[in-house]
Amino acid sequence: MTGDAFLRNLLLFGRLLRQNGLNVHPGRMLDAVGALESIGVGSRRDVRAALRALFVHRYDDLAVFEAAFDLFWRPSGGEPGGVPLWSLGERPTVVARPVRGTPVSLEHEQRSTGSDQAPAALPDMGVSAYSAHDVLRTKDFSEFSPDEIARAHRLMSGAAWRLGARRTRRWEPARRGAPDLRRVLRRNLKHAGELLDVPARRRRTKPRPIVVLCDVSGSMEGYSRMLLHFVFGIAHARRSVEAFLFATRLTRVTRYVSARGVDDAVARMGRAVVDWGGGTRIGESLRTFNTKWTRRVMRHGPVVLIISDGWDRGDPALVAREMARVRRSCHRLIWLNPLLGSSTYEPLTRGMRTALRVIDDFMPVHNIVSLDRLADHLRALPDRRGGGRSEPWTSKVRTRSTLRPHASGSS
């Protein structure tokens, strides 16, 4: 094999990786040539390790790299730099992010937006717009038509999702606070060392992160579509949002909610979740969250929103244990339950009852008014952990009269 052929193959391999989502830039290709010059191409194992070190930048890309390497640099007895399969039209098995499953319950929505129905409906609203909004604001999400979802989304997109700030360990100049010695010295040199002016500094603050865990099991069917719009809305109003969906298992959808348009994001989330509309296993899902994700997403004291109706087929003890663990690693734990909007609802399911013992807030999420209330609540969150818990739910679960402190709008 000539050096030329090898170089060409290396470039083709780089392109294959790029097509599969790896960040392989031209400078790196030069590095790779240099690296292989210094270690030689005698050992397949060493070449693999060298290219891996150069082309892979993150753990998630490792599997793609290994598959691509095996596919491209086949250890055949023949010409090692032969034409790779993919260039002959065969689809490599490693094409990034394969599209699996079908989006459940999203079809008619896509159709409606695809045929420009939503914009056409706008002028009709005319004078009655206000009252139309009003009805929409208190209407239960589960009764929304696709058209109403689009309108509700526009209503919601104006919502300001602000949370109390957390104090970081960085400093910024301030009017009052501890003296900022660096500036003190600089500024007072001109007074010949007499301290006339004492600039101060204080800890900088940053917005608190949010982690959303949303139930998309069968019993949430009527709400999940609208709630995904809600998750998308939060994610786009704020920078640090982690989103997970669960039914029988947990799926991280953070990277899908960053899609440009809401329909695209919702469709992608729908495809990513294989157990959409299935049963509910809150305990197991939370356990996955605690063992796999907590250390990565629960940094900087986040506010955790769990959105679920609490219908759980699993072991209530497991739910209790895992909920308690989530509670210990976050700043505030809020459970949003769409059923809480109904006047006859009582949190009697075992999963819900066990959860109530540890959560900070239990709030409805069934119409736009309830979302506004949530926004107000988040804005007013106390700095202290667990401060101002809205209700001592534990003792009052069984008493009907105290059940619905937040329920509103639907009455």
Partner 1 sequence: MAGVRALALPESIDELQQQLARQHYVADRALSVSAYLALKLKRPLFLEGEAGVGKTEVAKALAAALGTELIRLQCYEGLDINHAVYEWNYPRQLLEIRLLEAAHAIDRQAAARQLFTEEFLIKRPLLRALERTGGQPPLLLIDEIDRADEEFEGYLLELLSDFQITIPELGTIKAVEPPVVVITSNRTREVHDALKRRCLYCWIDYPDFDKEYQIVTAKVPQASEQLARQVTAFVQELRTEDLYKAAGVSETLDWTAALVTMNADALDPATVDETLGILLKHQEDIQAVRGERVQTLLGRALMRQPGTPRETRP
The contact set with partner 1 (CB under 8 A) reads 23, 25, 28, 31, 34-35, 38-39, 45-46, 49-50, 52-54, 56-59, 62, 168-171, 181-182, 184-185, 189-190, 192-193, 290-291, 294-296, 299-300, 321, 325
Q: Which of 34/382 has CB closer to partner 1?
A: 34
Cβ closer to partner 1: 170 or 379?
A: 170
In angstroms, rounded to a whole number, what is the distance separating the alpha carbons of residues 99 and 340?
Answer: 36
* Beta carbon of residue 38, minimum distance to partner 1 (angstroms, whole number): 5
At its nearest, how many Å lie between partner 1 and the CB of residue 392?
Answer: 26
Tokens representing residue 290 in the block:
């605690």
Q: 129 with 122: CB under 8 angstroms?
A: no
Give whole-number Cα distances, 107 to 153, 233, 263, 266, 273, in Å.
17, 21, 11, 11, 15
Minimum CB–partner distance for residue 151 and partner 1 (Å):
36
Kindly state the smallest distance separating residue 27's Cβ from partner 1, in Å. 8
**Least distance to partner 1, CB of residue 35, Å:** 5
* Helix, strand, coil share of the chain (percent; to 5): 50, 10, 35
Alpha helices in 40-145 (DSSP H): 44-55, 62-72, 107-114, 117-125, 129-138
> Any idea what DSSP says for residue 91?
P
Spatial CA neighbour of 144 closest among 176, 112, 192, 114? 112
Between 108 and 182, CB nearer to partner 1: 182
Q: What is the spatial distance between Cα 48 and Cα 29, in angstroms, rounded to a whole number?
A: 14
- Strand arrangement of the beta sheet that strand 178-179 belongs to: 165-174, 200-207, 178-179
- Please, which residue, 282 or 298, has the CB nearer to partner 1? 298
**Residue 240 beta carbon to partner 1: minimum distance, rounded to whole angstroms:** 10
- Rounded CA-CA distance 341/292 in Å is 33
Q: Which is nearer to partner 1, 36 or 214 (CB)?
A: 36
In the complex, minimum distance from the CB of residue 290 to partner 1, in angstroms, rounded to a whole number: 6
Return the number of the residue (121 or 293) whose C-beta is nearest partner 1: 293
**Burial (0-12, 13-18, 19+ Cβ within 10 Å), 57:** exposed
DSSP annotation of 255 reads H
Cα–Cα distance measured from residue 59 to residue 18, given in angstroms and rounded to the nearest whole number: 16
Q: Which is nearer to partner 1, 51 or 152 (CB)?
A: 51
Q: How far is the CB of 302 from partner 1 (least distance, A)?
A: 12
In the complex, the smallest distance separating the C-beta of residue 354 from partner 1, rounded to whole angstroms, is 16
- Of 83 and 185, CB closest to partner 1: 185
Residue 227 or 241 having the CB closest to partner 1? 241
Cβ neighbours of residue 131 under 8 Å, at least 6 residues apart? none
- The CA distance from 352 to 313, in Å, is 11
